[in-house]
Amino acid sequence: MSGDRGRPVPPNLDDRRWADLVEEATELIGHYAPQWTDRSPGDPGIALVELFAWLVEGLIYRLNQVPEKNYVAFLNLLGITRLPATPARTLLTFTAQTGQTALVPAGTRVQTMGSESQAPVVFQTEAELLALSAGLSMIVRYDAPPAAAATAADVTNTAAGYELRVPDGGTGYLLLGFDPAFTQPAERLELYAEPDQAATGETATVSWVFSAAGTDPANWPALTVERDTTHGLTQGGQVRLKLPATPQWAAVDPAGWPFPPAGPSPEPGRARRWVGLKLRNEKEPDDPARDALVEVRHLLPSTVSATTAPTAGRDAPEVLGTAGRAPRQVFELRNRPVYRQPGLSPYGHVKVMVDDEVWVLAEERAEGRDKAVRLDPVTGEVIFGDVGAVPPQGASITAVYRHVAAGAVGNVRPGTVTTLAEGVPGIVSVSNPVPGAGGADEEPIEEAKTRAPLLLRTRDRAITVEDYEFLARQVPGVRIARCLAPRAQDKDGPGGRWLKGDPWTFASISRAPGHVNLIVVPDLGLADPQPKPPVSLVQDVIAALDPRREVTALLQVHVPRYLPVEVTAELRIFKRAIDMQLAGGLAAEKERLKERIAKFLHPVHGGPGGRGWQVGQSLYLPDMYQAVQPDGEIGYLADLRMRPVQTPPYHPAGEAWNNDVHRPFRLPDTHGPQVRVTDYELICFSGVCEVTGVEE
């Protein structure tokens, strides 16, 4: 339901109208007065029914609206508005003309093709980019352990990202091989890099190298880093590398590297110029042995991030109006909501000008800041007189700002953002290698009403676990949040491993008093069965909660610990259903059953009712049976079994999550009626689903 500039509006609780009431009353005549047979409009009884229907319609409108109207009016008085739409984000890769480079300014707009029924979705780049004409032709993971032979692996077509796990004293590389036709390199190379897991280990160092004479990457010289907004691969951003001259940047044939004999190896004679990400794990003599790990989600050249948050007033400031005499003056931005950008200054892009002079945005009146203005980013109102002076009469009020132009519609598929909305000299093509994500529409009125009591209770501070979970879910991109309270052992552990009263440390999560452990899960779509928050989202959650927590609380934000589940099912399909074309055959129904099981076990889109699983929520067989069973006219499930997988993911130290050290209880080895999880685990699909079946 649409609202007035983001404000909640009273819902229509009873949508019955006069005609509906007349029809309902007429249908009851046969039950209560069967002797009444004349139901024509001229009958006096029908006339009375129509009269009372008119009276009841008025009562429904007035009486049933009073509680909801008062509730919504109360929210508006408190200034509680619906959460605004959030923009979608994607990555854009630009390609320059052959043998040339092209500068793509920040704020360049690129869009989808659009159609007759849907307008194009416009994305705007977030930073300046120097685009090259060469693309990647090969990506190689090169490992150089301290006391073993080096190994190489072709990971060019790896869709799930890249992982470097380096033992003490070892070195790992992610080598990017550029097209051999790229003979005139630019002065610099710009990469978009985004980690799934930032480099762990106090002795782990991240640097960049380039291919020189010789084939061993261990002897390649270092590249100069001109700018690194990733801060050593701790968050997503741009890495600008100063490239050497062509003679120094040698072309190296990867066929001489130690690829495994059984796996695919590159053809000889295809030399490439290489740029490498180097991870070095330098162990100190007294430090315990520990691997260094970095997981890279994206490592793309000539690529920049973009959002569906274009700039209004970019070419010419948007005119809001002319100042009058009133002591409090309100102007409205033409586009809303205003974009809330990440960082400490979420609305730093907004410039409100009075006769071309910028007035500052402020929440409260400050000494010496008469030229201040207040902004309501949800309703798009610019208010003079609340925090500062009013502008002089007749002054022109203008603004330049970014707004959310598209929400959920911006979550486009890969390869669909291909059209330049404005010309960029030297650019021949553009595309999005990853799907759009994070876009959401304005909050529904019912969710706003549910959120309001929680917002009033938390009062923008985090004390209880419910406060942390509620505030974390307000961060754009967070779908599931679970806060773990401190917890101690209730008995002595085997072999003196722990004593009664010691804090839980399972899964490397310290549950000591004063520790606040928050687990967050994003919505990355059905295609990702185990969604993990990127480092940027974890940092957004920390930035949102850190000023709201107690000073003595140690806040730690964790990725989810998944417990995969495998399923075995036996399906029966009725032959008559196939003959009547109600079912597509046994093979097709088996595939549909697998799809239903995979969706039911999806952490975000599955669960009973399709509302997603919560961290710590166990799985029960009846719930799965009810969710995945076929239609009764098609067939039935003769058997359904499930069990947790014994080979779970690993944490950065290289130890299994779910063994007896990192889990308070052992997993069963057989199928059972439930899959029990501990309070920090989340159900997911293992990808293993064996379905047998027959026709009967």
Q: CA-to-CA distance for 564 and 613, rounded, in angstroms? A: 13
Q: CA-to-CA distance for 249 and 227, rounded, in angstroms? A: 20
> Given this model, what pLDDT does residue 368 score?
54
Query: Does residue 72 register a pLDDT over 60?
Result: yes
Angle between helices 44-63 and 18-32 (to 10 degrees): 130
- Per-residue pLDDT band for 683 (boundaries 50, 70, 90) equals very high
Query: Does residue 462 register a pLDDT over 70?
Result: yes
Specify the higher pLDDT residue, 263 or 446: 446
> Given this model, what pLDDT does residue 438 score?
83
DSSP 229: T
> Given this model, what pLDDT does residue 203 score?
67
Angle at Cα 175 formed by Cα 170 and Cα 181, nearest 5°?
A: 155
Query: Does residue 572 register a pLDDT over 70?
Result: yes
**649 torsion bin: left (phi>0), alpha (psi -120 to 50), beta (else):** beta
- Mean pLDDT over 24-49 rounds to 85
Query: Does residue 680 register a pLDDT over 90?
Result: yes
- Mean pLDDT over 230-251 rounds to 83
> Given this model, what pLDDT does residue 1 score?
42
Q: CA-to-CA distance for 242 and 370, rounded, in angstroms? A: 46
Neighbours of 5 (CB within 10 A): 14
Q: CA-to-CA distance for 514 and 521, rounded, in angstroms? A: 23
Stretch among 228-242, 447-461, 488-502 having the lowest mean pLDDT: 447-461
Helix (H) or strand (E) holding 195: strand 188-197
Neighbours of 204 (CB within 10 A): 22
Interval 170-208: pLDDT, tens = 888 899 988 766 655 567 888 898 887 766 655 678 889
Query: Does residue 84 register a pLDDT over 70?
Result: yes
- Per-residue pLDDT band for 449 (boundaries 50, 70, 90) equals confident
Mean pLDDT of the chain: 83
Interval 578-607: pLDDT, tens = 888 777 788 888 888 999 999 999 999 899
CA torsion, points 572, 579, 630, 669, in degrees to nearest 10? 30
Q: CA-to-CA distance for 132 and 208, rounded, in angstroms? A: 19
> Given this model, what pLDDT does residue 314 score?
86
Interval 138-175: pLDDT, tens = 888 888 887 678 888 888 877 667 878 777 778 888 99
Whether the CB-CB separation of 319 and 397 falls below 8 Å is answered with: yes
- Residue pointed to by tokens 């998944």: 562
Query: How large is the C-alpha radius of gyration of the chain?
Result: 31
- Mean pLDDT over 502-526 rounds to 89
> Given this model, what pLDDT does residue 330 score?
92
- Per-residue pLDDT band for 250 (boundaries 50, 70, 90) equals confident
Burial 189-203 (b: 16+ CB within 10 A, else e): bbbbbbbbbbbbbee
Task: Give the torsion sign (CA, 200, 205, 206, 212).
Answer: negative
- Per-residue pLDDT band for 421 (boundaries 50, 70, 90) equals confident
Contacts by 340-347, CB closer than 8 A, 24 or more apart: 340/84, 340/86, 340/377, 340/476, 341/309, 341/402, 342/536, 342/540, 342/543, 343/543, 344/543, 347/375, 347/377
Predicted TM-score of the model (pTM): 0.72
Q: For a pLDDT cut of 70, what percent of the chain falls above it?
A: 89
- Per-residue pLDDT band for 633 (boundaries 50, 70, 90) equals confident
One-letter amino acid at 565 equals V
> Given this model, what pLDDT does residue 10 score?
57
Q: CA-to-CA distance for 438 and 412, rounded, in angstroms? A: 11
Neighbours of 206 (CB within 10 A): 23
- Mean pLDDT over 397-405 rounds to 93
Whether the CB-CB separation of 330 and 391 falls below 8 Å is answered with: no
> Given this model, what pLDDT does residue 430 score?
92
DSSP 282: -
Interval 88-109: pLDDT, tens = 989 999 988 887 888 899 999 9
Stretch among 197-211, 220-234, 381-395, 512-526 having the lowest mean pLDDT: 197-211
Stretch among 75-79, 293-297, 383-387, 631-635 having the lowest mean pLDDT: 75-79
Angle between helices 535-545 and 465-473 (to 10 degrees): 130
- Mean pLDDT over 116-130 rounds to 89
> Given this model, what pLDDT does residue 202 score?
59
Look at residue 541 and give its three-state secondary structure.
Answer: helix
